[in-house]
Structures are given as structure tokens and as C-alpha cells.
Amino acid sequence: MLGLKLPTDPRWVNIVEKNIDEILTDHAYCEQKAASTAISLIVSFPEYTELVEEMIALSREEMGHFKMVHDLIKKRGNSLGRDRKDDYVIELIKFFPKGGSRTTQLVHRLLYAALIEARSCERFRLLSEELEDKKLADFYHKLMISEAGHYTMFLKFARKYGEVDEVNKKWNSLLEYEAQIMKDLGNKESIHG
Ligand SMILES: [Fe+2]
Ligand SMILES: [Fe+2]
């Protein structure tokens, strides 16, 4: 459904279940970074009016998710921990060469964003299906639906602003590369790691 080439190993859910508090902090920052990405796209590409409109809405929605996760952290008697570096994203954004035309740079950023949303969606789905804590499973089910919408929106914009065949080729090679990253990571107590 998401085009991902390597499904998450279901054993990752066991790691999550043993580290819920760490996962929630990591997850909260994923939402914050999604909001920051939306704002940064507005600042970098202000002339793309339709994109700007959608990114305004998205940044609000992602901060809404951030609040949902933060509320859950508080309910569990904790406070938000410190952010840690996201090895998955660091590796991912090495894929496309830096530079190129403005449109090329925009397409690359949209494809990275689409992929991060797709992988988040896949992992939230797994959590919604496998977590023993049914309330938490429900929470992830709701978020999974939102992230699926974000993934398709970013891909739609990449195909709209770039040349479709070229975008599709790039998307496919990025998916292959991501599968390799997931082989090496994909087993840590974090949303993407
Ligand atoms: Fe989100
Ligand atoms: Fe999202």
C-alpha cells in the first residue's frame, strides 16, 4: 500500500512494548520535526502558493499530534525527554546529491518527506495492530490514518512540480535505498530506528 520495499520486522513491537516512555518521547519529536519540515518548506519555496497553503495546515496538524503525544506523556506521569538524533533520517537525506535546480531541490525534499510519512504510517499501523495496550493501539490507529494522507500529499506535490516519469524513477530508487537503511537499523527503541 505504501510502496515500501522492506516491511518492519514485527519483533520491533516487542522492543517498543518494553520501552514505551522512550518511544513516546521519540515520537513527540517526530511530530515536531514534521511540523518544522512543513514550515521550512514554506520559507524555502514561498512562491508555490498551493504548497504553502497545505503546509500551513500540515504544520498545525503535526503540532496537534505533538500535543496528543505530549498529553499522553504527562498522563503517564512523565515529562518530555530530550531530543536524540534520528539516525534513520540522517542516513536517508544522504541519498540525493546536493544542489541542482530549485525544482529539483523541491522534488527531493518532497520525496524525503513522503518517505518519512510512509514509514511512520507503516510503523503506526503495526503498533495499532500488535500493541497489547488497546488504548495505545487505538491512539496509533488514528495517527496512522493521518500519516497515510500526508504521504500521498507529498507524493502528489512531487509529481505536480517535477516531471512525472523522472519523479517516479527517483521515488523508486529512494525506496530501494530506504530498504537498505532499514536492514541496518529497524530494531531500536525509536519510531524509525
Ligand atoms: Fe503526524
Ligand atoms: Fe505526518
Q: Is the pLDDT of residue 5 over 70?
A: yes
Say if 189 falls within a structural domain.
no
Q: In this predicted structure, what is the pLDDT of residue 184?
A: 83
Say if 161 falls within a structural domain.
yes
CATH number at residue 45: 1.20.1260.10
For residue 43, the enclosing domain spans: 15-183
Say if 26 falls within a structural domain.
yes
Q: For the chain, what is the domain count?
A: 1
* Ligand number, closest to the Cα atom of 117: 2
Say if 157 falls within a structural domain.
yes
Q: Which residues surround ligand 2, an ion (CB under 5 A)?
A: 34, 117, 147, 150
For residue 28, how far is its CA from the centre of ligand 1 (angstroms)?
9
Confidence of residue 1 (pLDDT cuts 50, 70, 90): low
Mean pLDDT of 104-130: 96
Say if 167 falls within a structural domain.
yes
For residue 62, how far is its CA from the centre of ligand 2 (angstroms)?
6
CA distances to 17, 35, 105, 108, 160 from 100, rounded to whole Å, are: 43, 25, 6, 10, 18
Cα 81 from Cα 28, distance rounded (Å): 9
For residue 35, how far is its CA from the centre of ligand 1 (angstroms)?
8
Say if 10 falls within a structural domain.
no
Cα 186 from Cα 36, distance rounded (Å): 24
For residue 147, how far is its CA from the centre of ligand 1 (angstroms)?
6
For residue 31, how far is its CA from the centre of ligand 2 (angstroms)?
7
For residue 58, how far is its CA from the centre of ligand 2 (angstroms)?
8
For residue 11, how far is its CA from the centre of ligand 2 (angstroms)?
24
Q: Is the pLDDT of residue 192 over 90?
A: no
Q: In this predicted structure, what is the pLDDT of residue 13?
A: 92
For 169-181, the pLDDT digits (tens) are 999 999 999 999 9
Q: Is the pLDDT of residue 190 over 90?
A: no
Say if 3 falls within a structural domain.
no
For residue 148, how far is its CA from the centre of ligand 1 (angstroms)?
10
H-type alpha helices, 93-193: 102-130, 134-161, 164-184
Say if 73 falls within a structural domain.
yes
Cα 2 from Cα 120, distance rounded (Å): 11
What is the percent of the chain where pLDDT is above 70? 98
Cα 86 from Cα 71, distance rounded (Å): 22
Cα 50 from Cα 23, distance rounded (Å): 34
Task: Return mean pLDDT, the chain.
Answer: 94
For 35-82, the pLDDT digits (tens) are 999 999 999 999 999 999 999 999 999 999 999 999 999 999 999 999
For residue 117, how far is its CA from the centre of ligand 1 (angstroms)?
8
Q: Is the pLDDT of residue 193 over 70?
A: no
Cα 170 from Cα 87, distance rounded (Å): 22
